[in-house]
Structure 1
Amino acid sequence: MVHKKEQRVIFAEADSNFVDTLFSIMTLPLATIVRLLRKVPDEKLKPIGSLNNLYQSLLDLSTNCLSSEENKWLMLNPKTSSHDTCRKLKLNINDEEPTEYYICEAIDCSRRKGVRFSTCNLARCIYCGKMMNKRIKYEDTTVVDNGCSSVFASDLTSFMVTDDLRVTSNSPGSMVQLLCELGIPAVNFLDEMTFDVGLDQILNLLKGAMLFKNPLTYMVFPSSPSILDLVKPGKEILLKHLTAETSKSLTLTVTAQKSSSKCLFADANSDFVEFLFGFLEIPLGYMIGELMNGSSSFESLNNLYSSISSMATGEYIKSFDLKNMLLHPELMHTKLSEKQIFPLSVFRDSNYNYCHTYLECGIFSAYMTHSSRLKGHEKEMLCSCYLKDSRVDGRYLKESAKFMVTDDLVITPLSLLSSITMLRFGNLGCFVEVFLNFYRFHSEENYCN
């Protein structure tokens, strides 16, 4: 329903498939959101500007700075436990491929007790050092069904979605209440409009949620004069104290301009940079609900999270487990860095499985499952199978690596030439305008595996 004169969406009557897609946004790690929004670039996307720089810095990072070859791919592609579930959505905003699993190509290594698997084919076997590039199937994965059945929201209910992404059950009472809140005196000011939604429209909706308080209007009327309320990224938010009691210090050497106290760049060790890269793996739902207590700068996304939280299971959301998957998304197939200060949750079952190896026409074959039941293949052997830990001493980056970090989180390996370049960009008349300061701040250390 739209106000055509003002080119403004009042609300949308949506089926469970559209609501599913909206809800699934909460499961996306920040790295995935940045990658998706890079497909619809916009200079106004200041709220994620630093995250985009962080993502690009990791993308450009030399493998010489990594403790293992596969670590860049793993940090750029974090997954939550809902990844394969969301592939059943009729419209899935996350265009990543299904999770793939790899073991060592050597049959002797793959038949050892405690064989390792990885979700990246750049990993190396811990036993022989060869590439783990033998792709195997995970037999327990649910078959993807892109039919009409919804995934999260109840099939038996239609929903009302407001311009600021509040989602409620579709009822005349809810509609009347909304019209009163918006000061619309009569329905003759409104017109019905049918709007087809595809992946491009959902990406624009996500972009609108990062920019405006009325993302539905932005999706339907991208040039509407009603789109005025920019999200204010400078809003101060008190993070909930969710970290462990033990504290760790991170040290920075900051180069700043004396006259303005403007930070030019900082010299940082790998501890601080790995801490920064850790923001990319935080799921959106965890950030809004757990870290910011539902009060992030993105008001429409706060509304979406709150709508999920207030919906009854069984009646509007199919099950408690699915609701929990949206509100408290867990990471999957990962080992948290020791520098990750937030107590992110990892779906533990995803790091332990069984590897079944067998011969098929004399050729080595294998599959992975969460069950120890054998299928009766020729010379089939069962071994416990664990996620390969790509960290070295709990780190994704080499301990000896040094970096330069700019004020907007552009990260490059530390060098004299890059420092001179930054001083030149600072438009400094002379070096006496520069001063050094040593900053030490405390971060809380979380428990990790």
Structure 2
Amino acid sequence: MVTRSLTLSLTIDESSNKVLFAEVGKDFIDVLFSFLTLPLGTLVRISDKNSIPCLDNLYKSVEDLAGEYFKTAPCKEMLLGPRHAAEIMCLDLWVNLEGNRALCYYTCSRDCRYDYLSLYENAQCDCGCKMSHKVYLPSGSMKNENSEGVFLKGGRYFITDSFSVVPSSIQAAFNLLGGDRKIMSTLMERQVTVGISEVISILKQSLVSEAALTNVFLVKESVNLPEKKNRALAHYSRPELCSDSDSSDGIVSIKLSVDKQKNKVVFAECKEDFIDFLFSFLTYPSGFVIEKLNGISHVPCLDNLYASVLRNTMADCFEATNTKEYLVNPMIPSHFSLNQSLIESEEVHREWKRYYLCRNPDCDSTKVSLIPNMGCKCGCITNKRMKIMDPWSGANGDFSKGFVSDGTYIVTDDLVITPLCSVSTLMRRIVIDDLVEVPFNIGKREALALLEAALTGSLAVLTNVFLSKVEKIEDATSGIDGDCVLV
């Protein structure tokens, strides 16, 4: 495997031992901008589940949930390895964070009369068989021969420690120094070599810090990512996205169990629709989330990347208008939207790309093409048009769009999810004094509030979003007399 690396020129303030900015080429910025296209679940996975606490908990909950609780075989993998709309473009990045130089798809047997491609292994074909034969779309499949980069044209750029990006110039450098000429005497320039491991470290730091470059290149290697207990437990602070809504606006119902003595939501009891909604966070591209939250996701480095794409000084730096849209308005992958979505999203049209395989049933080629009638190694051509299969489709024509099976689930304040039947096993016997049960309807405003609260680093998502509302309606609800015992 070819080792890919490039050089960054760091400008360092020696007096504070801090990276002020780095001068880099388009290849490095392309990779950082690709962070905006990656689903939150992918960011968690690449970060080894040491990123944003509640997102880590959601991801671990999916891992721990037995296969019987998912509607179809691919559903679990859709959450643990979510696909995204820009994944074909990202194959051509200088480094691919997921380690891919080809995208994997799955087909049924060669002689199957249904021309389906599945994004995930073991989806059930309409013929009744499992789709398990691997085929690959190689890198370069979408690249225009006249393109200089993936998202950006050529040129040099400055990127700050907190991920603000501007085209490189003397004036831009002076602006980044705050116009302070005195600081010039404390500046030092250092060249560093960056490969895939450094990029992954930068990604990890960007999720937990506002000094990603400093933490990667200047902090001693023995220093690990911040412990979760040391991360600021930011409180929900944007009431405009969590204002009161009529109960008629609620389309998902839950029951909150509130500890009146400790003034916190202990857990929520809910049906599968609320779990589908929470798990869907893992499929959202980070740029999609930032757009929905009006540019403030509480992950400052990603917010700054997003703002940089929209900056006027960057307007002429992109390969094309549509490449910019992949970053600031990314769509949900085809077939990933829920039937009843609490957060509005636009899904990539299932026919936005056409896929072709060789039609020869005896051919052993595993190459997928986006162009018809290309020559195949067997002497035939790629003229068998394939359709992307809905991963939610099941036997007997069941096309119910949701990740988990029907049932009752428990969601803790920090978004750990378990089936109700396993609560006694996980929690044993817990007695909570002053526990009050409050029914609650969740509408689109509360949905955005939950998404944002999950990103703040707080371990009290349900409390931050719902407690003030519960206090307003508790007079209209009946509490539980005495102690409540979970068995």
Structure 2 length as normaliser, TM-score?
0.75
Distance 2:383 2:320 in 1: 37
Tell me if structure 1 keeps the 8 A contact 2:57–2:415: yes
Q: Pick the aligned partner of 2:69 from 65, 70, 74.
A: 65
Which runs of structure 2 are paired with 1:233-272 in the superposition (5 Å)? 233-237=234-238, 238-239=240-241, 247-272=249-274
Give the C-alpha shift of residue 364 in structure 1: 7.8
In the alignment, which residue of structure 2 is the partner of 1:159?
157
Give the C-alpha shift of residue 324 in structure 1: 1.5
Secondary structure in 2 aligned to 1:317?
coil
Greater mean deviation of Cα atoms: 27-36 or 89-98: 89-98
Give the C-alpha shift of residue 375 in structure 1: 6.0
Greater mean deviation of Cα atoms: 192-201 or 130-139: 130-139
Q: Sequence identity, in percent?
A: 24
Give the C-alpha shift of residue 91 in structure 1: 2.5
Distance 2:99 2:212 in 1: 21
Which runs of structure 2 are paired with 1:20-419 in the superposition (5 Å)? 20-38=30-48, 41=50, 45=51, 48-96=52-100, 98-105=102-109, 107-110=111-114, 115-126=115-126, 128-138=127-137, 142=141, 150-155=149-154, 157-180=155-178, 183=180, 185-222=182-219, 233-237=234-238, 238-239=240-241, 247-288=249-290, 290-311=291-312, 315-349=316-350, 353=354, 356=357, 358-359=359-360, 362=362, 369=369, 373=373, 382=384, 385-391=387-393, 392-397=398-403, 399-415=405-421, 418-419=423-424
Give the C-alpha shift of residue 275 in structure 1: 0.7
In the alignment, which residue of structure 2 is the partner of 1:440?
441
Secondary structure in 2 aligned to 1:109?
coil
Distance 2:220 2:374 in 1: 60
Give the C-alpha shift of residue 269 in structure 1: 0.7
Matching residue's letter, 1:403? Y
Greater mean deviation of Cα atoms: 26-35 or 390-399: 390-399
Distance 1:297 1:274 in 2: 23
> Could you list the runs of 5+ residues in structure 2 that have no partner in the other structure?
1-10, 448-487
Q: Sort the Cα spacing of 1:314 and 1:168 in 2 relative to 1 into closer, same or farther, 3 A.
A: closer
Distance 1:9 1:63 in 2: 46
Q: Does 1:11 align with 2:21?
A: yes
Tell me if structure 2 keeps the 8 A contact 1:265–1:422: no
Tell me if structure 2 keeps the 8 A contact 1:255–1:436: yes
Give the C-alpha shift of residue 82 in structure 1: 1.5
Distance 1:104 1:73 in 2: 18
Give the C-alpha shift of residue 32 in structure 1: 0.5
Q: Sort the Cα spacing of 1:267 and 1:208 in 2 relative to 1 into closer, same or farther, 3 A.
A: same
Root-mean-square deviation (Å): 3.6
Distance 1:70 1:173 in 2: 52
Distance 2:61 2:241 in 1: 26
Matching residue's letter, 1:29? P
Distance 2:372 2:217 in 1: 51
Q: Pick the aligned partner of 2:427 from 419, 422, 426.
A: 422
Secondary structure in 1 aligned to 2:99?
coil
Tell me if structure 2 keeps the 8 A contact 1:4–1:190: yes
Tell me if structure 2 keeps the 8 A contact 1:264–1:422: no
Distance 2:427 2:236 in 1: 28
Q: Sort the Cα spacing of 1:140 and 1:307 in 2 relative to 1 into closer, same or farther, 3 A.
A: closer
Distance 2:81 2:193 in 1: 30
Tell me if structure 2 keeps the 8 A contact 1:68–1:396: no
Distance 2:446 2:296 in 1: 24
Q: Sort the Cα spacing of 1:207 and 1:405 in 2 relative to 1 into closer, same or farther, 3 A.
A: same
Give the C-alpha shift of residue 433 in structure 1: 3.6
Distance 1:77 1:98 in 2: 15
Runs of 4+ in 1 over 4 A off after TM superposition: 137-141, 227-232, 238-241, 311-314, 349-352, 354-357, 362-384
Q: Sort the Cα spacing of 1:32 and 1:239 in 2 relative to 1 into closer, same or farther, 3 A.
A: farther
Q: Sort the Cα spacing of 1:438 and 1:420 in 2 relative to 1 into closer, same or farther, 3 A.
A: farther
Secondary structure in 1 aligned to 2:188?
coil
Distance 1:163 1:352 in 2: 37
> Could you list the runs of 5+ residues in structure 1 that have no partner in the other structure?
none
Give the C-alpha shift of residue 279 in structure 1: 0.8
C-alpha distance after superposition, 1:388-409 (max 9, x if no partner):
3424443334552221111111
Structure 1 length as normaliser, TM-score?
0.81
Distance 2:400 2:16 in 1: 55
Distance 1:10 1:331 in 2: 35
Secondary structure in 2 aligned to 1:203?
helix
